[in-house]
Copies of this chain bind each other. A is one copy, B any other.
């Protein structure tokens, strides 16, 4: 059934083709594709969060370079080089805080630079297109590998809780924590997913539930404050969440609310897993205490849902994420395998060679 699932990012056509994105700002109410046929449209899609999620942004930007070269495929090598430089610089301004954006653009640049002036423009663009598609493919493979390693942890018929969105919308396909659930379902394990709505921005309600619906995986939406009750009722056997950053000892920063779910899971003796590619590890940080907690706009909490939900003038605390200490994590699922138990020695052994 996965074949019928809409793809978050696709390259349509040959070197003079375009990028087709799912416009995530229209979800969950409508499935709308955004075809980006010039670089300004790619820039706008990244800027306006039509595409979001670190890997997805990287893939889109890499494909955006090819779109930006459409008009110079048959021009002079000098003109091609000048346009390449301009397009690259322009795309970097679309979302300057997205590390993956820079990583993907650097990679594309590195792939083409040795050949500049040596091959005709059309071939150079083809080279960039292949690199962009490779980035997409590698991300898809990594998601599938995480899915496979994680699904092996799940027993048939289990109830699984997840938080925020870690699915195909944020990646090439399948995602990280969600990939595990989709893979388990693909393997016929007949799981039931509970998804936290994930206040304040409701990624769980809007995006995760939409993805689960597309894949036909049985799922139930709950408010964040219902997770404890669902656990108490014995409906959850395992928890899987994503991560933004993991330190050398295995502490994991992730969307706000994750730490609370980990504490609740511990109380109910439910194994709590983190899923993330090995690139998420930051071994330069010893523990999660070194990660500063970013504060976000209070209006996400008071006005984020279409109407004002709190009095004018109230103080709001709105941390973007929290840090779950390694001792609450049963295992960290990476594309290389599962880190369990979560200790610095095993973290370094598994992902220390990145």
Report whether A310 and B205 are in contact in the complex, using a CB–CB cutoff of 8 Å: yes
The verdict on A224 contacting B221 (CB below 8 Å), with A28-B310, A267-B266 known, is no
Query: Please, how many angstroms separate the alpha-carbon atoms of A319 and B227 in the complex?
Result: 11
Instruction: Report yes or no: B213 in contact with A200, Cβ–Cβ below 8 A.
Output: no
Given known contacts A221-B302, A306-B306, A319 and B226 CB-to-CB distance under 8 angstroms: yes
Whether A229 touches B322, Cβ cut-off 8 Å, given contacts A199-B224, A223-B199, A223-B256, is yes
Tell me if A112 is interfacial: C-beta within 8 Å of chain B: no
Interface residues of A, dominant DSSP: mixed
In the assembled complex, the CB of A95 is this many whole angstroms from the nearest CB of chain B, namely: 24
Contact with A229, one of B196, B259, B307, B312 (Cβ below 8 angstroms): B259
A85 sits at the interface (CB 8 A):
no
Q: Flag if B213 contacts A314 (CB, 8 Å).
A: yes
CB distance from A325 to the nearest CB of B (A): 9
Q: Is the CB of B213 within 8 A of A309?
A: no
Complex Cα gap A224–B204 (Å): 15
Interface size class of A (residues with CB under 8 A): 35 or more
Min CB–CB distance A84 → chain B (angstroms): 40
Query: Hey, what's the 0/1 contact readout for A263-275 against B, CB within 8 Å counting as 1?
Result: 1101100000000
B209, A225: Cβ atoms closer than 8 Å = no
C-alpha spacing A199/B229, complex, angstroms? 14
Which residues of the other chain, B, contact A202 by a CB distance below 8 angstroms?
309-310
In contact, B259 and A221 (Cβ under 8 angstroms):
no
Contact with B along A188-210 (1 / 0, CB 8 A): 00000010111110100110011
* B-side contacts of A28, CB under 8 Å: 308-312
Which residues of chain B are near A29, meaning CB under 8 Å? 308, 311-312
Contact A226 B309 (CB under 8 A): no
Partner of A317, one of B230, B232, B260: B230
A98 in contact (CB, < 8 A): no
Is A219 located at the chain interface by the 8 A CB criterion? Answer: yes
A260, B228: Cβ atoms under 8 Å?
yes
Chain B residues with CB under 8 Å of A199's CB are 197, 199, 223-225
Nearest CB of B to A206, in Å: 6
Give every chain B residue within 8 A of A257 (Cβ-Cβ).
Answer: 223, 225-226, 228
Tell me the nearest residue of chain B to A319, going by C-beta. Answer: B229
* B221–A223 CB distance below 8 A: no
For residue A222, CB closer than 8 A to chain B, the reply is yes
Chain B residues, Cβ within 8 Å of A75: none
Interface status of A305 (Cβ within 8 A of chain B): yes
Q: Which residues of chain A in 165-213 are interfacial with respect to chain B, using CB atoms and an 8 Å cutoff? A: 194, 196-200, 202, 205-206, 209-210, 213
Annotate A293-328 by CB proximity to B: 1 below 8 A, 0 otherwise: 100000001100111111111111111001000000
Given contacts A28-B311, A213-B313, A223-B200, contact A205 B306 (CB under 8 A): no
Distance in angstroms between the alpha carbons of A264 and B260 in the assembled complex: 7
**Cβ of A307 and Cβ of B305 under 8 Å apart?**
yes
In the complex, A76 has a CB within 8 A of chain B: no
11 residue pairs bridging A and B, Cβ less than 8 Å apart: A28-B310, A29-B308, A199-B223, A205-B302, A205-B309, A205-B310, A210-B311, A221-B317, A229-B259, A229-B319, A232-B322
